[in-house]
Amino acid sequence: MSTATYVELRLPAVGPRGWHLDLAAALCRMGHLGVGVAWCDHEPVPERDLERLLAIERRLHRLPSAGAARAGRERLAHLSTGRPESGRVLVLDLTAGPAGHAGHAGQDEGWSLTFDGRRGEGAAAAALVAGRFPVVEVVDASGTAVASARPGSEWPGVTAAALDDVLAGCVSLLVAAVAGRPPRLLEEPAVDRRPTGGRSLTHQAARAVARVPLRRAARIFYRTPHWRVGWRFVDGPGVVDTLQHPASGWQDLPDDGHHFYADPFPLKVAGRTYLFVEDYDHRVGKGVISVVEFDDQGPMGTPVCVLEHEVHLSYPCVLEQDGEVWMIPETSAAGTVELYRATDFPRSWVLDTVLLRDVDANDVTPFRHGGRWWLSATVRGGGSCSDALHLWYADDLRGPWTPHRANPVVLDIASARPAGRVLERDGRLVRPAQDGTGGYGSALTLAEVVRLDADAFEQRTIGRLTAGEDWRGSRLHTLNRAGRLEVIDGSSRSPRLRWPG
């Protein structure tokens, strides 16, 4: 744990933002810390064009206001405790002013928050306007990085929403750093300082206004988002081995335009191959889990629903263990992680165990390593659902499950969210992960797990797949294989009006 017994937040004098309040509350929940606030009277004036852009986007997309100064100050005053006369004090400077903090006698430490090497929320917003998620670092008084991350958002084209998500990720980063388990980007991406392409923030605001009717028009003519599953038969090395799309391409799993299929998980049982998918009906607005059997020619018909829930279902991770067939579908909307057992495979399933409760866990993927079961998933902490990888471990698939002490073990929109089964290759663990740096499902990363135990987790990127000529569309999402059947999924378009024939 950190040696600090008191954390002082240095905030702009204009008033606290929502994420400042969330940070103070999270630090208070740590129990062993006192928390206080100091106000900076020399904060640079926010750029008016930037504030105008954010205000326009919040209005257009009905986003909450970023700050409520008076109520926020009252809330911080309620959370604050008195500064101790002795003991260590950690000052978290969250302003855009010069590095350093108002000095105090004793053993004060000072940390600052930077975005692509620059301080202040304006630097984060500038990176988002330029089309990238900033690298966020917690740096000490000498400029040395204490912790680093790349939080992201599912709204990269909406600066106000993306900024809220990135700042929520900063809360997770700071809390972990204060707790003495600082996340780090082991593969530091080069800091991109490109400008916005010559466009002014006023021009960006005009584009934000123009996008809204365009998006509404797109929804009139197309069912969106619409995902599709690609499949192929392969007898040799798969994509995880070659780290590239097959030269032969992929065949589409047909859909009727009203349904889309996503999150494909194949499983071979008793010599027969089945493909489980998220089956989303645009007319209903909710996903179920469906299955279709494959023979040597391809799918034998259309996916048929085998599991429904009161909430949306997706990511049907299926596996065999102890003579039974199990499934962990995503039930994040219920705040649970649920284990289902097949009673009449593949069509009948019963809830066996609720593995985790009160958690917004996305794309839960179980695997075995070091004589244990592990669960991996990204957990939403107020911002993105794709940038914070959490782990749990247990001796039995049914649990009980213990959270990893370093959670979140990865805080990076480029490589956190699971994208299929974790595989073993020559004694190495390889995990497909979603790369959301260009938006949700913009690419697929393959990462080798170089350390995994109860104390630490480390991975390194070994490959990256993108859409293009080898995969039509603009998104990639999930990669899996069972026997000869290899599957992938990504985006497509479903026109609401289709020509006959």
- Write down the pLDDT at residue 491: 82
Q: CB atoms < 10 A from the CB of 282, how many?
A: 16
CB of 408 closer than 8 Å to CB of 360: no
- Write down the pLDDT at residue 409: 96
Q: Residues 199-239: pLDDT tens digits?
A: 555 666 666 666 666 666 556 566 677 899 999 999 999 99
- Write down the pLDDT at residue 71: 73
- Write down the pLDDT at residue 473: 73
User: What is the Cα–Cα distance from 338 to 354, expressed in whole angstroms?
Assistant: 4
User: What is the Cα–Cα distance from 144 to 111, expressed in whole angstroms?
Assistant: 10
CB of 455 closer than 8 Å to CB of 405: yes
- Write down the pLDDT at residue 186: 77
Tokens of 148: 């680093």
- Write down the pLDDT at residue 243: 93
Which among 34, 67, 23, 37 is positioned nearest to 175, based on CA atoms? 23
User: What is the Cα–Cα distance from 104 to 330, expressed in whole angstroms?
Assistant: 50
Which among 235, 262, 260 is positioned nearest to 434, based on CA atoms? 262
- Write down the pLDDT at residue 214: 60
CATH value of 222-495 in 2.60.40.420, 3.90.1150.10, 1.10.645.10, 2.115.10.20: 2.115.10.20
Residues of the chain below pLDDT 70: 1-4, 43, 45-47, 66-70, 99-107, 188-223, 492-501
The residue type at 80: S
Its sign, for the CA torsion 307, 313, 318, 322, is negative
Residue span(s) of the chain under CATH 2.115.10.20 come to 222-495
CB of 356 closer than 8 Å to CB of 377: no
User: What is the Cα–Cα distance from 425 to 448, expressed in whole angstroms?
Assistant: 10
For every residue of 233-296, DSSP letters joined together read E-SS--HHHH-S--TT--EE----SSEEEEEEEEEEETTEEEEEEEEEETTTTEEEEEEEEEET
CA angle 172, 176, 181 (to 5 degrees): 150
Which among 63, 94, 75, 67 is positioned nearest to 173, based on CA atoms? 94
The residue type at 88: R
- Write down the pLDDT at residue 101: 47
Which among 331, 336, 328, 418 is positioned nearest to 376, based on CA atoms? 418
